[in-house]
Amino acid sequence: MTNFSYFQDASLRKKLVFLSMLSSGFALTLACCGILAHAYISARGNVTNDITELGEFVAQSTTAALAFNQKNNARENLAIFEFKKNVRAAGIYNENGTLFATYTRSDVETTFPPHPKPKSTRFHGDRLLIFLPITHKGDSIVLGTLFIEADLGTNYTKIANYLKIFLVIFPFAFLISLLFSSVLQMRISKPITELTNIATRVSREKNYAIRAYKSSNDEVGQLIACFNDMLTQIQKRDKQLQEANELLERRVEERVEELKREIAERRQLEERERKLQQKLARSERMESLGILAGGVAHDLNNILGPLVGYPDLIIEQLPADSPVIRELETIRDTAKRAAAVIQDLLTLARRSSYKLQVISLNEVIRNYCNSPDFEERITRSNKIKLRISLDEQPLAMQGSTPHLSQVIMNLVHNAIDAMPRGGILKIKTSFEYLPTKMHAFNGTMPAGYYATCTVSDTGLGMREEDVERIFEPFYTQKELGKSGTGLGLAVVYGVICDLKGYISVKTSPGRGSTFKVYFPAESPEAIPTKEKNTPINGNESILIIDDDASQRQLGKKLLSHLGYRVTTCENGRKALSLLRHNHYDLIILDMIMEPEFDGLDTYRAIRALDIHVPCMIASGFSENDRVKTALRLGAALYIRKPYSLMEIGRAVRQALATSPAAQKQAPARYSVSVAGTGIRPSGGKKPEN
């Protein structure tokens, strides 16, 4: 230990003399060993790689032979190893581990392993054993295993020759190293070189954690110690600076994330505000449209009333072959279409009335397809081929027959108008089950059972930007006044939403359009049975209360023609005076009269007189809140103006059926809708829209 300490503190000259001799011998020995080891490893690696590459080629070529059990082909593939003199033997095992084909060099004897091994490369003495799996290209299924046995004796002979050469050269090299060490003994090279390398590395990598190794207390050792102290101070300051930078970076990243969140939230708010503004603008447009429709509906329907009612009276008084009947029917039908436009406006403004009940989707479509309107449109468009496919089931759904008919009619009209040069119109119904949610034009449909109706055409189609607006009121690609009012699809959208349904649209320019409507399915047993046709004539006494003289006259003539005894008056106060001194079997009450005493006020006053007479509301306006209040208070039913002879006759019979005398004879029943209005028995509650 003392001698070792002396050596550490000795001068650099003594150290260099001793270390040069020692290092030279060690270096030469290490070099010889390294070269021999490299030669040994390289030789084994080259042989292994060479044989492995050839083996992989043979394994790939043998897949077909194994797959089709062709041993001759497998032996021919193994024959390629004849060109490798160091390959002693090779064999192919099938997937069951049975030896399938073999190759053995003519001058050797070998024994094949009884079972194949997993993919591996092993050295056994002077032999190399290789196992390669045989698989389809790009497939993981193993068809078999390739075994190769190679001879390494030639390579070991070369390495032995190298060792002999190194043993001859080694003494001469050692002598030369001693000569050089004597020249360099006065120079302090190694420690200074190491210190220089450390300093260069620190300067290049900026890694102040690196330290120079101090091996002695001589001048170089002191220099290394001072150098390490300097690095320690720099490292502390660098660490402080790095921590400050990291803290600043974290704060910057946090602030950036906050800004991203704020920007995203702001964009979401802006997008939400934009959508709300669009909804508000649409709501304001619809409200304005509703106000306009509501304001003119009463007066226009009163004006159209005689045009709808009088033609029926005149037709019945004319001979069956009179040429005037056709013109009168045209007047009546035109007036009905005008009233339908007004009803479309009320529907868009959500001021239309719905009487919801379980109905058959197929029955509604079947009735529409048998209607004169449908037959007239198909006859006029003689180039259009019609294909109707209705599901065998009735397809029960909760809805309103008049409004659903309006949806089907508008979809069919839209399809016909999209095929000015002819094409194929398809109407199809089906019962479908959605196992998961599905996106539709007006929202996301939940999973469940649906009654569906598909109307498709092979017409002009639409662009994507047009599809986004096709359900807006008055937005149309057709010329207004010639092929429609621009309200058809808007009415379709409004009614479908009100009936809790969904609609999807598939279209592209020149390839036609497909509209598919989904309604939640109901049980077919819930569909009410059809009522038998009942006579509309009668001899009961009826009081008509209406502020419009033409409507009073029309109602009196229509009902008088049916045999009823009719009395009229122009306001509610006069009606109360008549009711105090006369008995009537039915009251037909207009809702829109003088503001200070309208139809609802009149009905309340009638109930206050304790007069048990059924009352029927007839109005040119929609079923507004005051009409609903009257129905809730006990009014028998509501019928919308204008009405025809048949419609007013049926409504009167249904209203009379709610009288106390009629109810003693038969229980109250739900009745069918009249002219698209909700009719219900007296005292019952009207379903909510």
Structural domains of the chain ordered from first start: 11-184 (3.30.450.20), 212-352 (1.10.287.130), 354-526 (3.30.565.10), 541-665 (3.40.50.2300)
Q: Provide φ and ψ at 275, rounded to 5°.
A: -65, -40
Contact between 304 and 625 under an 8 Å Cβ cutoff? The reply is no
Q: Provide φ and ψ at 100, rounded to 5°.
A: -100, -40
Q: What is the pLDDT of residues 281-320, one digit of tens each?
A: 766 766 666 666 666 666 677 777 777 777 877 887 888 7
pLDDT given for residue 544 in this prediction: 93
Residues 6+ apart with CB under 8 A from 427: 365, 369, 386, 387, 388, 389, 390, 408, 412, 453, 454, 455
Contact between 377 and 370 under an 8 Å Cβ cutoff? The reply is no
**H-helix or E-strand spanning residue 440:** strand 438-440
Rounded Cα–Cα distance for residues 674 and 651 (Å): 7
Q: What is the mean pLDDT of residues 224-234?
A: 85
pLDDT given for residue 1 in this prediction: 47
Share of the chain above pLDDT 70, in %: 80
Name the band, by pLDDT with cuts 50, 70 and 90, for residue 9: low
Q: What is the mean pLDDT of residues 609-626?
A: 79
Q: How many CB atoms lie within 10 A of CB 679?
A: 23
Contact between 589 and 599 under an 8 Å Cβ cutoff? The reply is yes
What residue type is 76 in one-letter code?
E
Name the band, by pLDDT with cuts 50, 70 and 90, for residue 569: very high
Q: What angle do CA 651, 657, 662 make, to 5 degrees?
A: 160
Name the band, by pLDDT with cuts 50, 70 and 90, for residue 676: very low
pLDDT given for residue 533 in this prediction: 63
Q: What is the mean pLDDT of residues 122-136?
A: 83
* Greater model confidence, 10 or 154: 154
Provide Rg for the chain, Cα atoms: 51
Q: Does residue 481 register a pLDDT over 70?
A: no
Contact between 457 and 425 under an 8 Å Cβ cutoff? The reply is yes
Q: Provide φ and ψ at 52, rounded to 5°.
A: -65, -45
**pTM, entire model:** 0.45
Q: What is the mean pLDDT of residues 417-437?
A: 90
Q: What is the mean pLDDT of residues 199-227?
A: 80
Name the band, by pLDDT with cuts 50, 70 and 90, for residue 684: very low
Share of the chain above pLDDT 90, in %: 14
Rounded Cα–Cα distance for residues 531 and 670 (Å): 10
Q: What is the mean pLDDT of the chain?
A: 79
Q: What is the pLDDT of residues 354-377, one digit of tens each?
A: 567 888 999 999 988 888 778 888
How many angstroms separate the Cα of 82 from the Cα of each of 52, 56, 91? 15, 16, 13
Lowest mean pLDDT, pick from 25-29, 420-424, 638-642: 25-29
Contact between 339 and 301 under an 8 Å Cβ cutoff? The reply is yes
Lowest mean pLDDT, pick from 322-326, 589-593, 660-664: 660-664
pLDDT given for residue 480 in this prediction: 46
Contact between 185 and 20 under an 8 Å Cβ cutoff? The reply is yes
Contact between 680 and 686 under an 8 Å Cβ cutoff? The reply is yes
pLDDT given for residue 8 in this prediction: 65
User: Which structure tokens are listed for 87?
Assistant: 């390959």
Q: How many CB atoms lie within 10 A of CB 63?
A: 17
Q: What is the 3-state secondary structure (H, E, C) of 524-576?
A: HHHCCCCCCCCCCCCCCEEEEECCCHHHHHHHHHHHHHCCCEEEEECCHHHHH
Lowest mean pLDDT, pick from 327-341, 427-441, 627-641: 327-341
Q: Give the best-scoring range by mean pLDDT among 66-70, 175-179, 530-534.
A: 66-70
Q: What is the pLDDT of residues 519-541, one digit of tens each?
A: 998 888 777 766 556 688 889 99
Q: What is the mean pLDDT of residues 324-334?
A: 78
Residues 6+ apart with CB under 8 A from 424: 384, 385, 387, 457, 458
Q: What is the mean pLDDT of residues 314-332?
A: 80
Contact between 630 and 621 under an 8 Å Cβ cutoff? The reply is no
* Edge-to-edge strand list for the sheet holding 87-94: 99-104, 87-94, 142-151, 127-135, 120-124
pLDDT given for residue 678 in this prediction: 31
Q: Does residue 145 register a pLDDT over 60?
A: yes
Lowest mean pLDDT, pick from 143-157, 452-466, 539-553: 143-157
Residues 6+ apart with CB under 8 A from 640: 301, 343, 353, 618, 619, 620, 622, 623, 675, 676, 677
Number of H helices, E strands in the chain: 19, 19
Q: Does residue 121 register a pLDDT over 90?
A: no
pLDDT given for residue 520 in this prediction: 93
Name the band, by pLDDT with cuts 50, 70 and 90, for residue 681: very low
Residues 6+ apart with CB under 8 A from 81: 54, 58, 87, 90, 103, 148
Q: How many CB atoms lie within 10 A of CB 371?
A: 13
Name the band, by pLDDT with cuts 50, 70 and 90, for residue 352: low
Q: Provide φ and ψ at 328, rounded to 5°.
A: -65, -40
Q: Cα 384 to chain center, whole Å?
A: 35
